[in-house]
Amino acid sequence: MDFNSFNIKVVKFGGSSLADAEHFKKVADIIHADPTRIFVVPSAPGKRFSGDTKVTDMLYECYNTVTAGGDVDSVFGRICERYNLIIEGLGLDYDLTEEFNHIKWAIGHSAGRDYAASRGEYLNGLILSKYLGYDFIDPARYIRFFDDGSFDSEVTNALLSEELKKHDNGVIPGFYGSMPNGTIRTFSRGGSDITGSIVARAASADLYENWTDVSGFLMADPRIVDNPQGISYITYRELRELSYMGATVLHEDAIFPVRFAGIPINIRNTNMPEDPGTIILSHTEMYDSKHIITGIAGKKGFCVITIEKPMMNSEKGFGRKVLEAIEQENISFEHLPSGIDTMSVVLNRSEISSCRERIVNRICNAVEPDAITIEEGLALIAVVGRGMVKSKGTAVRVFKAVADAGINIRMIDQGSSELNIIIGVDENDFEKAMRAIYTEFVD
Ligand code: ADP
Ligand code: ASP
Ligand code: MG
């Protein structure tokens, strides 16, 4: 197909948008409403109601059961039932029994954890392509990873753009590709967003639409702040800061392929397709927001190592030696707030749980501090906004709002780009602090 003469949209639908037959119908209506929506990236069926289990989680359970020597019949049966309910609900004449049998056999014969997880998207993709009458394009053949497991963007782009030219339309399952030896590899959780972006770049799309269950990016997590306002326009950089810090609407790495190609992303709501959602672009100067901040996001589960030693700032190589000690345990650090006689390193608690003693010993041997402490239970909150560069006093307002709510700030870090201010609070104060900051800037 000649991409130059067409307007092309790549549309990705998340798990909640493809959780059951009713949602499949809404998805098909959205696709049929616009003939430029020609490449479709589906996730695996997500939760249909609170308390339900995502198919991806059931597939991980299958894998874990098999590796523990257990019997997968019951959980695998529930997976097949989810797909069969969708097929039935759509009135399709389609039988996936052979696929199911093969997948079950492969999971039981060392096909691997990523293979198991990827079948959620694979099977949903088969059903959606059948329902839409679109070609099925298996990403295992085109989305490639290096031997070390990192994503090979250039080979992928070359292979996939070549392939897409052969199709007038297509369904390309999200979340996975393959290793040089042919085995399946997935992105991290939520990775179908990345596939959507890769396909948008390869198709030279005009727009990457990411359809989910909220009407775009909101100024705060709706599970924490009641009815947060929507964000109409946001830059790739702001979005990355927010998604890295827990605003899970879009995977934090999903912007790279489209940013490279200058393709905007539009986050939309499958259940309210008339809502305009959020547009993500590289520059938004012409769309000034009425708020100084663009959004707030945060995560629990951090810890902070504080190292004290008088005059450390004049000791050459001090910082490097501390970071080297952490690197030797193959751990990356999140933040590095420092004073003249103290240095703090914020780390992900789950990463250091198995090696905290070793890290402390390594740091002690490397820099002989006067004192070293590890504090657990830290939550980080990022206040993000391109408007903060121009306006004075934003940090003061953040601190005052949190202090007025009776919350102690345990850490402060302002990004050098002035795009964000990050504060650390006790995990127990997390939700309260988020609400206090939101109210200060938005309500
Ligand atoms: P999908 O299954 O479509 O990929 P996700 O669950 O990954 O959807 O992302 C959408 C969810 O992200 C929303 O339902 C919402 O609960 C959550 N979320 C967290 N932070 C935000 C935010 N700032 N704006 C909108 N949604 C958010
Ligand atoms: N199904 C995968 C997950 O649950 C990928 C995705 O939904 O984007 O993480
Ligand atoms: Mg998602």
- Domain of 415, CATH number, reads 3.30.2130.10
Indicate if ligand 2 lies below 6 Å from the C-beta of 42: no
191 and 324 in a single domain? The answer is no
Q: Which of 225, 228, 157, 240 is nearest to 193 (CA)?
A: 240
Residue 400 CA to residue 97 CA, distance in Å, equals 61
Grouping H, G, I as helix, E, B as strand and the rest as coil, residue 116 is: helix
pTM of the model: 0.89
Q: 167: how many CB neighbours lie within 10 A of its CB? A: 17
Residue 220 lies in a domain: no
Strand-pair category, 207-212 with 265-269: parallel
Residue 409 CA to residue 141 CA, distance in Å, equals 49
pLDDT average, residue stretch 184-195: 98
pLDDT tens per residue across span 336-376: 888 888 999 999 998 888 888 899 999 999 999 999 999 99
pLDDT average, residue stretch 223-240: 92
Query: Which residue is it, tokens 């991409």?
Result: 3
Per the CB < 8 A criterion, the answer to whether 176 and 184 are in contact is: yes
Confidence grade of residue 285 (pLDDT, cut at 50, 70, 90): low
CA 105 – ligand 2 centroid, Å: 23
Q: Which of 98, 97, 100, 168 is nearest to 132 (CA)?
A: 168
* pLDDT value at residue 289: 67
Residue 140 CA to residue 413 CA, distance in Å, equals 41
Question: Which residue type occupies 256?
Answer: F
Output the CA–CA distances (angstroms, integers) from residue 325 to 134, 369, 405, in the order listed. 53, 13, 38
CA 316 – ligand 1 centroid, Å: 45
Total structural domains within the chain: 2
- Which residues form the pocket of ligand 1, taking CB atoms under 6 Å from any ligand atom? 14-17, 43, 46, 190, 212-214, 217-218, 220-223, 247-249, 295
Share of the chain above pLDDT 70, in %: 97
Residues whose CB is less than 8 angstroms from the CB of residue 22 and which lie 6 or more positions away in sequence, other chains included = 89
Residue 12 CA to residue 353 CA, distance in Å, equals 36
322 and 180 in a single domain? The answer is no
pLDDT average, residue stretch 78-105: 98
What is the average pLDDT score of the chain? Answer: 93
Q: Which ligand has the nearest atom to the CA of 192?
A: 2
Indicate if ligand 2 lies below 6 Å from the C-beta of 388: no
Q: Which of 280, 313, 310, 273 is nearest to 295 (CA)?
A: 280
Residue 235 lies in a domain: no
276 and 331 in a single domain? The answer is no
Q: Which residues pair with 184 in a beta bridge?
A: 178
Token couple for 115: 């293979």
Ligand 2: which of 41, 47, 56, 119 to mutate, most ligand atoms within 8 Å of CB? Answer: 56
Return the DSSP state at 343.
E
Ligand 2 atom 6 nearest Cα: 190
Residue 310 lies in a domain: yes
CA 383 – ligand 3 centroid, Å: 22
CATH at residue 157: 3.40.1160.10
Q: Which ligand has the nearest atom to the CA of 190?
A: 2
CA 203 – ligand 1 centroid, Å: 26
Residue 271 lies in a domain: yes
CA 158 – ligand 3 centroid, Å: 26
166 and 93 in a single domain? The answer is yes
In Å, how far from its chain's centre is CA 36?
26
pLDDT average, residue stretch 386-397: 84
Indicate if ligand 2 lies below 6 Å from the C-beta of 54: yes
* pLDDT value at residue 280: 93
Residue 425 lies in a domain: yes
122 and 201 in a single domain? The answer is yes
Token couple for 93: 């004449």
Residue 388 lies in a domain: yes
Return the DSSP state at 144.
B
DSSP 411-424: EEEE-TTSSEEEEE
190 and 94 in a single domain? The answer is yes
Indicate if ligand 2 lies below 6 Å from the C-beta of 264: no
Question: Which residue type occupies 116?
Answer: A
Residue 286 lies in a domain: no
Q: Which of 336, 337, 206, 178 is nearest to 279 (CA)?
A: 206
Q: Which ligand has the nearest atom to the CA of 17?
A: 1
Query: Among 14-18, 378-382, 412-416, whose mean pLDDT is lowest?
Result: 412-416
pLDDT at 3 over 50: no
65 and 209 in a single domain? The answer is yes
Closest ligand 2 atom to Cα of 187 = 5
Query: What's the domain range around 398?
Result: 295-441
16 and 106 in a single domain? The answer is yes
* pLDDT value at residue 11: 98
64 and 178 in a single domain? The answer is yes
Residue 344 CA to residue 114 CA, distance in Å, equals 36
109 and 51 in a single domain? The answer is yes
Residue 228 lies in a domain: no
344 and 259 in a single domain? The answer is no
Q: Which ligand has the nearest atom to the CA of 249?
A: 1
